[in-house]
Amino acid sequence: MSAAQATDSKRTLSYAAAAALALEQVMSADERVVALGEDVGRGGVFGQYAGLLARFGEHRIIDTPISESTIVGAAVGMALTGLRPVVEMRVVDFALCAIDEIVNQAAKNRFMFGGQGRVPAVIRMPIGTWTGSAAQHSQSLEAWFAHVPGLVVVAPSTAADNHALLKASIACGDPVAYLEHKELWGVGGEVDTGATGAGELGRARCTRAGKDLTIVSWSRTALESLAAAEVLASEGIEAEVIDLRTLWPWDRDQVLASAARTGRVLVAHEAVQAAGFGGEIAATVAEETGARVARLGAPRIPVGYSQALESEAIVRSVQIADRARRLLAT
């Protein structure tokens, strides 16, 4: 690729538009890729399918009834017959109505039938708080899916990653729990629409180098961690920030190397801290290195509807910076 071509391939896109473009590019290149779910024909609730119905028609952009178990069940069948379905669950909270199809059918099929069938389906289940939407629309359930053998788990935090990782997930031969954040759809960023290899599954990204401690995070909290690192830097504390990008497989090598270098690791996430995926990372760091570890997640409470209650359940940069200072003091 020439320098001019490289420049032409870089565009500023929103998180939602980056995903829509990725899906358009993949569908143009591979007729096996279809999308199905509620509201995909009108562009999706967040605009993540904008323009795709006009481009590919209703046989590939498929509006479905309001039945999550039916949607995922149909996708499993599609995948087993050679298609590569992209499944829209609207929000992760609604995917609980399809948990049998995701956990017992999609995830286990390859293992239970000796590899005769595979389920290359991408199940889009947006996680995280959705402002003013209360407890049934604001959950972060990534640890559930990371716990299930057979599922790949992806959690992009930027428009560039949402473009690259969605492509990589569709190319993956196994079912992917694809966890976009409900409040990142409008956040923009530079996207290299022609990049290859940027979406490697299982590869974290160091978004800020530092020597005093390591902050490991994903999804929106990875951005909050960067903001916390800026505050800490003004105090003379250099925090290294690692955005995992994929939770399973997760980039053990990069995290452990950073932990060995800084000697302290803080894992921060928006999900409830109790039994959160941060515990897996913290335990691995403790077992494999001599680093001191700490976790920061949401309290074990439902996300409230009122602004005051809702704010109590969200991990922000202020809490991350405070927990980092306390970790450094030990």
CATH number for the domain harbouring residue 103:
3.40.50.970
H helices present in the chain, as ranges = 3-8, 15-29, 52-56, 68-80, 92-95, 99-100, 109-112, 142-146, 159-171, 219-234, 252-262, 278-288, 307-312, 317-328
**CATH number where 307 lies:** 3.40.50.920
What is the C-alpha separation between 275 and 259, in angstroms, rounded? 22
| Shared domain check, 263 and 169 | no
Average pLDDT rounded to a whole number, residues 269-277:
98
| Shared domain check, 292 and 170 | no
% residues pLDDT > 70 (the chain):
97
Question: Which of the four pLDDT bands, split at 50, 70 and 90, describes residue 301?
Answer: very high
Structural domain includes residue 197? no
Structural domain includes residue 3? no
**Encoded amino acid at 310, one letter:** E
Diameter of the chain by CA atoms? 59
| Shared domain check, 262 and 128 | no
What is the C-alpha separation between 221 and 269, in angstroms, rounded? 6
Over the stretch 122-141, which tens digit does the pLDDT of each residue have? 999 999 999 888 999 999 99
Structural domain includes residue 297? yes
Average pLDDT rounded to a whole number, residues 273-284:
98
Over the stretch 51-84, which tens digit does the pLDDT of each residue have? 999 999 999 999 999 999 999 999 999 999 999 9
Structural domain includes residue 316? yes
Average pLDDT rounded to a whole number, residues 32-45:
96
Total domains, the chain = 2
What is the C-alpha separation between 172 and 53, in angstroms, rounded? 24
| Shared domain check, 180 and 74 | yes
| Shared domain check, 177 and 244 | no
Q: How far is CA 19 from CA 112, 170, 204, 278, 294, in A?
A: 32, 12, 19, 26, 33
Question: Which of the four pLDDT bands, split at 50, 70 and 90, describes residue 2?
Answer: very low
| Shared domain check, 103 and 164 | yes
Identify the residue with better confidence: 196 or 101.
101
Contact indicator for 34, 83 with CB cutoff of 8 Å:
yes
Average pLDDT rounded to a whole number, residues 225-234:
98
% residues pLDDT > 90 (the chain):
93
| Shared domain check, 143 and 62 | yes
| Shared domain check, 162 and 209 | no
| Shared domain check, 150 and 16 | yes
Out of 152, 168, 192, a domain closes at 192
Which residues form the catalytic set?
137
Structure token pair of residue 221: 């909290």
| Shared domain check, 152 and 43 | yes
SS3 (DSSP) at 63: strand
Structural domain includes residue 158? yes
Out of 137, 163, 192, a domain closes at 192
| Shared domain check, 186 and 48 | yes
pLDDT of residue 164: 97
Number of helical (H) and strand (E) elements in the chain, helices listed first? 14, 14
Structural domain includes residue 244? yes
Domain of residue 74, residue span: 12-192
Contact indicator for 269, 316 with CB cutoff of 8 Å:
no
Structural domain includes residue 283? yes
Out of 192, 226, 246, a domain closes at 192
**Encoded amino acid at 98, one letter:** A
Question: Which of the four pLDDT bands, split at 50, 70 and 90, describes residue 195?
Answer: confident
Give yes or no for residue 19 having a pLDDT over 70: yes
| Shared domain check, 18 and 139 | yes
Structural domain includes residue 200? no
